[in-house]
Amino acid sequence: MLRTIAILTVISVIGVGFLTFGAAPPVAAAAQDDVKQVYLNKCAVCHGEDGAGKTAKGKKLKMKDVRAPEVQKMTPEQWTNVILKGSGQDMDGLRKTLARR
Ligand code: HEC
């Protein structure tokens, strides 16, 4: 249950765009800090702190900017699938990793 909430929050925060960090109302801000922490811990190593994917790993894997229109266009279901099951050969599903928090 908690895990589901965490994942959905990650999706909505990242999906809405990184610009919302810092501009959020106080109540949402605490939850977003938590999500940001998850993102920085679990995703930024490849996708980069800003989502652009300009990390050593990201460049090697030729990944897209998660803020690109075609990525933002993905439905929450598609995001959930990618995060839980992974994508292509290079992004592993994070079901186990996220559950371990
Ligand atoms: C080991 C490196 C790695 C980690 C860690 C990682 N990703 Fe990815 N991710 C990738 C790669 C590589 C792709 C593109 C795969 C492909 O070619 O389909 C990708 C694709 C995606 C996509 C689909 C859109 C796109 O760019 O193709 C989303 C959404 C995504 N990742 C979100 C996340 C989130 C959220 C996390 C953290 C919970 C995360 N990723 C962690 C490497 C990673």
pLDDT tens figures, 48-91: 999 999 999 888 888 889 999 999 999 999 998 999 999 888 88
Q: How far apart are the CA of 30 and the centre of ligand 1, in A?
A: 25
pTM of the predicted protein model? 0.74
Distances (CA, A) of 12 to 17, 32, 90, 93: 8, 10, 23, 18
pLDDT over 70, % of the chain: 70
What is the pLDDT, as a whole number, of residue 22? 46
Which atom of ligand 1 is nearest the CA belonging to 11? 35
Phi, psi of 86 (to 5 degrees): 90, 180
The token pair at 44 is 């930024």
What is the pLDDT, as a whole number, of residue 4? 60
Q: Is the pLDDT of residue 21 over 60?
A: no
Which atom of ligand 1 is nearest the CA belonging to 90? 12
Mean pLDDT of the chain: 78
